[in-house]
Amino acid sequence: MSRLAAFVFFFLFSGKAVLAQADFSADIVNLSAANTFPTKIFATKDKLRFQGQDRNGRTTSVMLVDLAAGTSIVLIPQQHQYVQQTRAQIPGQGVTFFQPKDVDNACTEWQKMALTGREKCHKMGHETFNGRDTVKYESTPARGDGNAVWVDVKLHFPVKWKGPALERELRNIVERPQGKELFEVPAGYTKRTFEGPVTTTPSQP
């Protein structure tokens, strides 16, 4: 489960959820580490699904995020259980997602997200990334190295983000309607109270 959570470390707290502009699915590629497990993302309006897989393509962990309701659910397929959180974040990670309303003027929203209030945002301009029109933004913190994010103009969603210790990007983006069952708890799953770390088998990401 920690591997599934790791890729969203870059994103900070956001005051409100902003809905995705188009349904899509994509692969999340970790460029800052070798031999990582595959992760896929599915998005439809106000809902996201992050799906961890093993090297054989079997689903090992899933996180469902409802941005409108401000909740998240972690599915544990091996145990047919789920853990529900009352905030749109991975348990223990304190993370939400940066989806600007105005792709060409995202600095105001980014600076509101900064925990210190001292982080400066700079719009670098439009760039073509993997054949898609994006707007690149860079942040300059009071101390240390900054971050960069490329926001897809059509999706209103980051397709690449880079920080001092991480670099991730979306590949194989497919724009098409996503089935509502992808964002629901499967039948037969039981709710588990989150009283400690979710136990996982060695094969889980």
151 located within any domain: yes
202 located within any domain: no
Domain count, the chain: 1
Burial of residue 54 (number of CB atoms within 10 Å: 0-12, 13-18, 19+): middle
Give the mean model confidence (pLDDT) for residues 95-113: 70
CATH of the domain at 91: 2.50.20.10
204 located within any domain: no
Tens of pLDDT, residues 44-96: 988 889 898 887 778 888 988 887 777 788 898 888 999 887 655 543 333 34
173 located within any domain: yes
Q: What is the DSSP string of 49-101?
A: EEEEE-TTS-EEEEEEEETTTTEEEEEEGGGTEEEEESSSS-TTT-------S
Q: Domain of residue 184: give its range.
A: 2-191
203 located within any domain: no
Fill in the amino acid letter for 144: G
200 located within any domain: no
pLDDT score for 11: 37
96 located within any domain: yes
133 located within any domain: yes
